[in-house]
Amino acid sequence: MSAANKHNPDDFINAGIDLCAREGMRALTARKLARDLGIAPMVLYRHFDSLDHFRTAVWNACYARMDKVMWPEGNESGDYADVFRRACRAMANFGTDHPNLLWFMWDVHWTPERYGMESARRKALDSMMNLHRLGKESGAFRPDLNVYQSTLRTIYTMMGLTAFLITNIHTRIAAWEPDALLEDGIDHMLARMTLPKIRVGLEPSCATGGVDPSMVAWCSGNREVFGSESGGKSPFGEAAPDSLNNPGTEKTYPKCGDKTREEFIRAGVRVCNRDGMHALTARGIGQELDCTPMVLYRRFDSMEGFSAAVWNACFGLFNRSLWPLYDVPADCRTAIRRFVRAATVFNLDHPNLLWFMNATRWVPERYGLENQRLKGLNRLVDLHRRCVECGDRHPDADPLLASLRAVYTILGLSVFLNTSKEARIAEWDTDALLTDAVDLILEGYARSPR
């Protein structure tokens, strides 16, 4: 039997998973797959109609693997809270062990049904929903628990927490070990599922699922991140009404080497926002600025240094779009609601920046840069500290832990909304999920976490 005929579709799918786990989603090509299997590239098409068909099969198989890890035989035994805890731990461990697979699963949304496959993602969601339903029916969970709502909360909270653990930032800000932060997140979710709903100090509009009208007006009027509330300023203090998403409005640069570091960085942010993180190459930046690629290295020692500067600038851009919210004349809870919504809107409006900011781990300090991500987090911690001082939060609440929970909840919701458009039930549109997350975060901060 020839080498080409030794392989079946499962062999290609398993090889694709290994390749993606090792080199990332962009490595899923017929040429690289053939290299790993020792066959000709065109053999792939004897088993799959197209490369999209193959990638969809790999994507679906990734969810099947995660589902198997989360719900192994025997995991149904024991208390429902213990089963929930084991499933959440398994999901987080799968993601931290295979970050490239996780970003592939979340970065694109394929439709397996189009190729006659059962959606493993839908099956995984149904498994989690079934656990919530059985827990409610057995009395282990609250009798008034909304099963679907609680399931979605669990999914996007775990997505955010897992992504947060992958970025490793928690170890650099407060010596939070991954296991400790993971257990806190799981405990926090279980407390909402097993205890009566806590509505401490929430206004009636928020308690009934409504939204502060001023917050809605702010979000709808500032869908573009450089709106009037932010003063129309970029992270570099320059007017930037359309320059991020419409590079054609930029001024024309000369072809000589007198470009500043800031001009290169701004070009990098534009390219990443428009074309994704993989477009951050010397050639791509040269084309953006109409210059030769090597000019980049007159301002940066390496491509890594340039990428770190762009990554840092993305967080600076994110901070600039949110910081006006900290200074508005409003109570702390209103400021937090505005922050959650504005942060999520930024992520939804700039999905390529969302992936770049969270799927890569740069250390700006290595290149003499002030870490904008830590700077933004410190501002959020200060906001929660103000909430404690003014009496809006329990006096022994931990502002840092509250901020970490807010960050990974926003991150998870943003990723979920970016990748789940076809998987949501109709009544749970983007704004409904966002409003629910705002209420969820405010509930979580009402009492001490310890």
What percentage of the chain exceeds 70 in pLDDT? Answer: 75
pLDDT, one tens digit per residue, over 283-293 is 999 999 988 88
Q: What percent of the chain has pLDDT over 90?
A: 34
pLDDT digits (tens, 9 = 90+) for 188-228: 889 888 855 433 322 222 222 333 333 333 333 333 322 33
- Out of 213-217, 251-255, 394-398, give the one with best mean pLDDT: 394-398
CATH of domain 48-194: 1.10.357.10
Output the pLDDT for position 379: 87
- Residues forming CATH 1.10.357.10 domain(s) in the chain: 48-194, 204-444
Q: Which two tokens stand for residue 159?
A: 């997505």
Instruction: Give me the count of residues in the chain.
Output: 450
Crossing angle between the packed helical segments 99-107 and 51-70, to the nearest 10 degrees: 120
pLDDT at 236 over 50: no
**Contacts (Cβ under 8 Å, ≥6 apart) of 290:** 252, 253, 255
**pTM summary value:** 0.76
- CATH 1.10.357.10 fits domain 204-444: yes
Q: Which two tokens stand for residue 164?
A: 């947060």
Instruction: State phi, psi for 307 to the nearest 5 degrees.
Output: -60, -40
